[in-house]
Amino acid sequence: MKVTQIVEAGEVKNFYMSSWTDKELDLTFEGGEIKLTLPEDIMRRLHKRLDETLTKLAEERLADAKQLVETEDE
């Protein structure tokens, strides 16, 4: 039998990654904190995924800004 637990903590308010211990990540939520240990391969995958997500958001914002400028020029 497999037992799992999902914690829905809500929006992350802050994070901290110590320069003393390279693998620990603290996520702060309203009313609590979660401490994680991240192996290097997971940090690399997280970095890649964050990069992809932030690039997509930037592209969407740029497209929205271009559309706004075009609309204002008409």
Splitting the chain (74 residues) into consecutive groups of 10 residues, what average pLDDT does each group show?
87 90 88 90 95 97 93 76
Query: Helix, strand, or coil here: 21?
Result: coil
For the whole model, what pTM was predicted? 0.72
Q: What is the pLDDT of residue 67?
A: 92
Give the span between the Cα atoms of 68 and 56, in whole angstroms: 18
Q: b vs e for 43-68, b when ≥16 Cβ sit within 10 Å of the residue's Cβ?
A: eeeeeeeeeeeeeeeeeeeeeeeeee
Q: What is the pLDDT of residue 2?
A: 86
Q: Where are the domains of the chain?
A: 1-38, 40-74
Q: Which residue has the tokens 């204002």?
A: 72
Q: What is the pLDDT of residue 70?
A: 86
Distance from chain centroid for Cα 68? 28
